Chain A
């Protein structure tokens, strides 16, 4: 459940620290706890990728492969 979303959280925290993680929660409105329990719906993953990209100022697609 929510493997991709949780992975995006992990990438953001690795690269942006706690501030990054907090920003991701604020931008998406979904906390890590909630993300881990959710289904990886396409529109959610898209929203998370976009938010993570804005926070880290880089495309995270290659990190998800």
Chain B
């Protein structure tokens, strides 16, 4: 074995990617490296067949990936060679130019997973990640990431979670419900989490298994034609994320001023108010006035949050246009079946509650719960002006 080749830590799996720098630019390796932290991967790349075979013979490789650009060439030869001589090595072949000869050859071998059409690169990357990942537990579509994290935290789940929304993709590592790291390509953990939290209607795939974000080993393989994988930094847990995995603070910058929202206080508010209305509260949410994003709640209803953010804004507009005084601290809606919706307004934040049952709850709502809600909302939000 080449003494210059260092083996990565035991739990890290090595993926060898053969792709030509003359093609669309080492896309597969670049995409896979985005997940090297969360999936404990070491990605080695080469454009030389001899170098690829040398690595496969001398190291433990979890899988090989070949991006084939031409029907004759080193990639095609490598496919034939690996197909014949390494039947137990998982082999992923990407035929972006849909060449029939490559398709036919790839399908000859049972251990080859094949994908064609350059538009399918995302699906190909997902296939690779899925096969490397431990057993998938399930997938949830169209949810808010903050709600999902809250649930993971309460269920004390471990594993890694792939988050996607409209072609964007990131991953989260969880341990006993705690968020260990967030990964979004080049972004740091804190930036990645903040960015993903702003995505709407995300799809999450939950996978069981190791989730610690260990540093992958650095391979020094330049001499054998293998590009060294970039060193994976330990993802620091950002100051705004508690060890418990909950987002503690949300910072919103608007027209030069920064609004800081204490999510932990809002969660406490949700619990206190839930206890005050144990039999009658049906759902509650604290949401942003600007876009209706739910930040905390109980039996959360994101759609209602968006709707009531719009209603509050329209109501304010209607009052202004009518020459009436502006909205005060709350408004109430009387619904059928004796149910009531109360929206409490406090600058950047609003709290919505659906209360059912008997009308005697109205007194409790307006005299006790309202005061408590206003207190919590004002304490949870502060505005930082630029110095």
Interface of A toward B, CB cutoff 8 Å = 17-19, 22, 25-29, 31-34
Q: Do the beta carbons of A31 and B154 come within 8 Å of each other?
A: yes
Over the window 264-279 of chain B, the binary record of Cβ atoms lying under 8 Å from chain A Cβ atoms (1 yes, 0 no) is 0000000000100000
Q: Do the beta carbons of B148 and A22 come within 8 Å of each other?
A: yes
Cβ of B285 to closest chain A Cβ, rounded Å = 11
Q: Do the beta carbons of A27 and B299 come within 8 Å of each other?
A: yes
Partner of B274 from the list A17, A19, A29, A34 (CB cut-off 8 Å) is A29
Q: Does B86 contact A (CB under 8 A)?
A: no
- C-alpha gap A62/B151 in the complex (Å): 28
- C-alpha gap A25/B148 in the complex (Å): 11
Q: Does B104 contact A (CB under 8 A)?
A: no
Interface of B toward A, CB cutoff 8 Å = 137-141, 143, 147-148, 151, 154-156, 206, 274, 298-300
Partner of B138 from the list A19, A28, A34 (CB cut-off 8 Å) is A19
What would be 8 A-B contacts, judged by CB atoms less than 8 Å apart? Answer: A18-B139, A18-B140, A19-B139, A26-B151, A26-B299, A29-B298, A29-B299, A33-B154
Contacts A18-B137, A19-B140 known; A25 to B300 CB distance under 8 Å?
no
Partner of B154 from the list A17, A18, A27, A34 (CB cut-off 8 Å) is A34
Cβ of A29 to closest chain B Cβ, rounded Å = 5
User: Would you list the 9 A-B pairs with minimal beta carbon distance, nearest first?
Assistant: A18-B138, A31-B154, A19-B140, A31-B155, A29-B298, A17-B138, A22-B151, A27-B299, A25-B151
What are the residues of chain B within 8 A of A27 when measuring CB–CB?
299
Cβ of B141 to closest chain A Cβ, rounded Å = 8
- C-alpha gap A27/B282 in the complex (Å): 9
Cβ of B22 to closest chain A Cβ, rounded Å = 44
Contacts A17-B138, A18-B140, A19-B138 known; A31 to B151 CB distance under 8 Å?
yes
- C-alpha gap A22/B145 in the complex (Å): 12
- Give the nearest-CB partner of A29 in chain B: B298
- C-alpha gap A22/B156 in the complex (Å): 13
- C-alpha gap A22/B154 in the complex (Å): 10
- Give the nearest-CB partner of A32 in chain B: B155
- C-alpha gap A28/B300 in the complex (Å): 10
Cβ of A50 to closest chain B Cβ, rounded Å = 11
Cβ of B277 to closest chain A Cβ, rounded Å = 12
- Give the nearest-CB partner of B282 in chain A: A27
- C-alpha gap A26/B156 in the complex (Å): 15
**Central interface residue in B143, B151, B274, by most chain A CB within 10 Å:** B151
- C-alpha gap A32/B139 in the complex (Å): 18
What are the residues of chain B within 8 A of A26 when measuring CB–CB?
147, 151, 299-300
Cβ of B54 to closest chain A Cβ, rounded Å = 43
- Give the nearest-CB partner of A27 in chain B: B299
Cβ of B355 to closest chain A Cβ, rounded Å = 15
What are the residues of chain B within 8 A of A29 when measuring CB–CB?
274, 298-299
19 further contact pairs, Cβ within 8 A, besides A19-B139, A26-B147, A34-B154: A17-B138, A18-B138, A18-B206, A19-B140, A19-B141, A22-B140, A22-B143, A22-B148, A22-B151, A25-B151, A25-B154, A25-B155, A26-B299, A29-B274, A29-B299, A31-B151, A32-B155, A33-B154, A33-B155
- Give the nearest-CB partner of B281 in chain A: A29
What are the residues of chain B within 8 A of A32 when measuring CB–CB?
155
Cβ of B153 to closest chain A Cβ, rounded Å = 9
What are the residues of chain A within 8 A of B206 when measuring CB–CB?
18
- C-alpha gap A35/B278 in the complex (Å): 17
Cβ of B358 to closest chain A Cβ, rounded Å = 16
